[in-house]
Structure 1
C-alpha cells in the first residue's frame, strides 16, 4: 500500500490491462505546458509524457457493490509527473478519455479532471492487447495501439530508484479548481507487477491535442504492461 496508516476510503476500483507508453520531453517544454504552482519532475534529465490505455472495472463507492453497465468502462490517460509548490509529488493529467458518459460527467464536475468522452475499444488475446479510441466532442484524440507483451520475462515489481519506479509507482494526483486552487487525490494499491513489451505499434493524436506532437515514427522511450491492480481511493483535499 502507499502508506502504513489506515486512510479514509471513499471508493474502490480495479485497473486492468494497462499499457504504459512514455516519451522523453524537454523539461522546459513540459514546464511551459503546466499551470503555475506545479513544477515538472524529471528523471535522467528528462520530463516524461505518458499515454496509458487501460480498463476501469468494478468502479464503486466503498458502500456499494459494482453495478453492471455502470462500473465497467475504458480509459486512456495522457499524463506527466510534477511537484506542487508544497513539495508533494504526483501526476498531472492533460486528458483522460473514457467511453462512459456518466463517469466523464461526474469526474469533470466533482474531481475537476479533464475527462473527455470517446468511443473506445480493447481487445486482448494471448500476449497482445489492442486499444483504440476516437473522441466524440473534442478535436483530435484518435489513437490505435497494439502492444505485444514479452511473456518470456517474469512479472516483476519496480525497484525503488529505478526509472520504472518513477514512472509507475504514483499514488497522488493533482486537479485544479476553477478558482485556480489545486486539489490532491490519493490512491492505494499494491505495487504494479509489470513486464516489458516485446513490440508496440502506435498511431495517435492524443499527445498532439495536449500540445506535444509525436509522430508515429518516433519510438517511445519506455514501454511496459501490467495485468492490473485493485485500488482504493481517498477523498480529494486542498493541496
Structure 2
C-alpha cells in the first residue's frame, strides 16, 4: 500500500500553457515514460500557486514551512503499466522560497527544486479576482498574474483544462534507466475564465536557451483553477 508522505492544500493555481517541440522535451523524459499530447500539441505549462497547511505523513507540521508559493515549468507524459496507461507530469524546475524544502526535495527525492525569493498577492472582489505570483531571478522580479471572473465552472471532461490538470502521477528521472513514480490525489478543480493575464519569465536563465523561443509567443491558453486539498503518495521505482 502506498504511503502518504505529504498532505497540503494547493490554492489559486494559474496555468499558462505553451506548445513545445518534442525535440526539446525528449531528452528530459524519465525512463519508462513517453510524451503525452492533446490534438497533436505537446504542452509545457508555467504554473504558479500557493501551498497551505503542509504536513508530512499527514500529521507532522514543520514550523515556518506550512505555507509558501511555488512556480514551476512542467510537461506531460504517460506510462504503460500492467493496469493500463498512467498519465503524469515531469517538472523541468520548481521554484520555492524555502531553502529547507529545496534541500529535502533535491536530496531525498531527486526533484529539481531551486530557492528564490517569492511573493504573492490575491485581490478577491465580489465579481472579479486578481491573482499574482512573483519570483526573483538575479535582481529582477518575474511574475505570472491573471484577472479572472469570480464565477467558475466545474471541469469539463475531455477539455484542454482537463488534460492539463488531470495528470495524476509524477515522474522523476533518477538515472538513465531508473525513474521515481508518485501519485498526486485530488478532486477535479473548478475553472475560472481569465479576462486578462501577464507573464514575465526569464526562461533562458531558469530553464535554458533551448526553451526560450517557445515562450516568446503568447500561450495557447491561460486559466485559473481554485485548487483543493491534495495528498502525495509514494509510488514505485521504475527500472
Instruction: Give the TM-score of the pair, scaled to structure 1.
Output: 0.85
How far is the alpha carbon of 1:16 from its aligned partner? 1.0
Name the residue aligned to 2:20: 25
1:40 to 9, 13, 35: 35
Name the residue aligned to 1:10: 5
Name the residue aligned to 1:70: 65
- Deviations, residues 90-142 of structure 1 (Å, cap 9, x unaligned): 10100000001111111111111100111111011131111111247xxx996
1:203 to 188, 200, 203: 200
Rounded Cα–Cα distance in structure 1 between residues aligned with 2:46 and 2:118: 15
- Deviations, residues 41-93 of structure 1 (Å, cap 9, x unaligned): 11011100100011111111235253441211111110000123655321010
Contact 1:203/1:216 (<8 A) preserved: no
How far is the alpha carbon of 1:189 from its aligned partner? 1.0
Contact 2:77/2:88 (<8 A) preserved: yes
Rounded Cα–Cα distance in structure 2 between residues aligned with 1:189 and 1:85: 22
Contact 1:97/1:135 (<8 A) preserved: no
Instruction: Give the TM-score of the pair, scaled to structure 2.
Output: 0.85
How far is the alpha carbon of 1:166 from its aligned partner? 0.6
Root-mean-square deviation over aligned CA pairs: 2.5
Does 2:140 align with 1:145?
A: no
2:122 to 124, 140, 163: 124
Gaps of 5+ in 1: 1-5
Rounded Cα–Cα distance in structure 2 between residues aligned with 1:66 and 1:79: 27
CA gap of 1:107–1:32, structure 2 versus 1, over 3 A, is closer
